[in-house]
Amino acid sequence: MTRMDHIALDEQARAILRGNDRGGYTVPTAGLYPYQWNWDSAFAAWGFATFDVDRAWTEIETLLSGQWEDGMVPHILFHQDDPGYFPGPGVWGTGRTPATSGISQPPVAATLARRIYETDPETGRARLRAVFPKLLAWHRWWRAHRCPTGVAAITHPWESGRDNCPDWDPGMKNVDGSNVGDYTRRDTGHVDPSMRPGKEDYDRYLAILQFGRECGWDQEVIVRDGPFLMADPAMTFILLRAHRDLAALARELGESDAELMGWAADLEAALPSIWNEDLSCYDARDLRTGEFAGVLGSGAFLAWYARVENPEMERRLMAVWNRVRFGIPSSDPAAPSFAPRRYWRGPTWPVVNSLIAMGFSGMGRDAEAERLRRETVELIEAGGFYEYFDPMDGTACGGRDFSWTAAIWLAWASPSAGRD
């Protein structure tokens, strides 16, 4: 790639973020995802921070404006109605202003707020001071409502952000989706249906949603009696790192870090409960039945991001990576469920690659971090700022002009990015 090429891509990436800006918040992509999504927004903020740090803080502030009284930051904020998306605010029925969904999403915000703060501490200090208590309340919510056995669990596959990963198959097969009634999907009108989750998946997603709505989004009831509850290694690694990053921000503000460091230590101590001996890796586990998913993918690769290492795990994961040509696959090509273009059942996500690379470089694994960056650059250079890619042949898939792909380009993948 010549210097001119990457400068043109930098400009395109900034234009995508500006184009997806709906005034204080960014949609992931027009059409397919027309609202503010939780972790998408945190990545968008990281991207904005490379050229407009004020706008970056605004993105985080708008995201936190949807916070519930119990501390939960929902996975979608429906700032304005859009009939092009299903299931919209009326289906979730959470009765909030702004209207929101009733589940959360991976808490990358503290980790990325730390990055944003470090780009310009002087401007960021007052903004950080204002958002810190909200981030802390959200982390406290994770601890109180999503760590029933010690590690982080999800109550809906959408909560993981990795919707239809084979990781959730053990829990999903026990969800009865036969009584959800008629509905019309909108996602398949925006992108090729063969790249999206199937009808049976959607029936079950809706059944889990309906359970939440019927119990008035009582998180205690959802965790205790809901149709789906799985321990998620990726969420655990993301939360573990987020606790530590928020603790670092607490110190920066002269606040105590003790509570956060305690939560981080507890998460770490609970990790053996999701160690799958047969895989020699951390693995998703159904908390209703104890069953492991038994399939590796990008979630397990986030171990390094949380500073968790193990030689046997490393050997297994590197073998998975070496089975594909581009990036870390969301699921192992050796698994029977592997589908290289169907949403989270195989493809590689530039945004997840950016987190995994952050993990590699934080552990001094510069060669792996650089390999992952190079492979991600090749994908974006050839295919554009798509949502995700086929890890075997590099075909661009899903939504186009995607905010988080543009954001991680600016903050991490581009040769002009300020990497750590």
Retrieve residue 99's tokens. 């209207």
Three-class secondary structure of residue 285 per DSSP: strand
Q: Which amino acid is at 323?
A: R
Question: Is 387 a catalytic site residue?
Answer: yes
x/- contact string, 127-156, with ligand DGY (CB under 6 A)?
A: ------------------------------
**Closer CB to ligand DGY, 49 or 339, in the complex:** 339
Query: Which entry of 52, 82, 118, 163 is annotated as an active-site residue?
Result: 163
388 binds ligand DGY (CB under 6 A): no
Residues 103, 100: Cα–Cα separation, whole Å: 9
Alpha-helical runs (H) found in 93-194:
109-119, 121-145, 157-160, 169-172, 187-190
Residues 6 or more apart whose Cβ sits within 8 Å of residue 340? 329, 333, 346, 347, 390, 391, 392, 393
**C-beta separation of 12 from 385 below 8 A:** yes
Distance CA 102, CA 121 (A): 34
Cα-to-chain-centroid distance, residue 135: 16
- Spell out, one character per residue from 289 to 318, where the chain touches ligand DGY: x when CB under 6 A holds, - when not: ------------------------------
Q: Is 176 a catalytic residue?
A: no
| Phi-psi label, residue 388: left if phi above 0, alpha if psi -120 to 50, beta otherwise | beta
Q: Does 202 bind ligand DGY (CB under 6 A)?
A: no
Give the nearer residue to ligand DGY in terms of CB position, either 75 or 241. Answer: 75
| Per-residue mark of binding to ligand DGY, 156-195 (x: CB under 6 A) | --x----x-----------------------x--------
Question: Would you tell me how many other CB atoms lie within 10 Å of the CB of residue 69?
Answer: 7
Minimum distance of ligand DGY from residue 155's CB (angstroms): 13
Provide, rounded to whole angstroms, the least separation between the CB of residue 187 and ligand DGY. 6
Least distance in Å: CB of 209 to ligand DGY? 10
**Residues 72-111 close enough to bind ligand DGY by CB under 6 A:** 75
Nearer to ligand DGY, 6 or 190 (CB): 190
Catalytic residue among 169, 252, 268, 387: 387
Minimal distance, residue 228 CB to ligand DGY, in Å:
14
Q: Which amino acid is it at 223?
A: V
Catalytic residues: 163, 387
Residues near ligand DGY (CB under 6 A): 75, 158, 163, 187
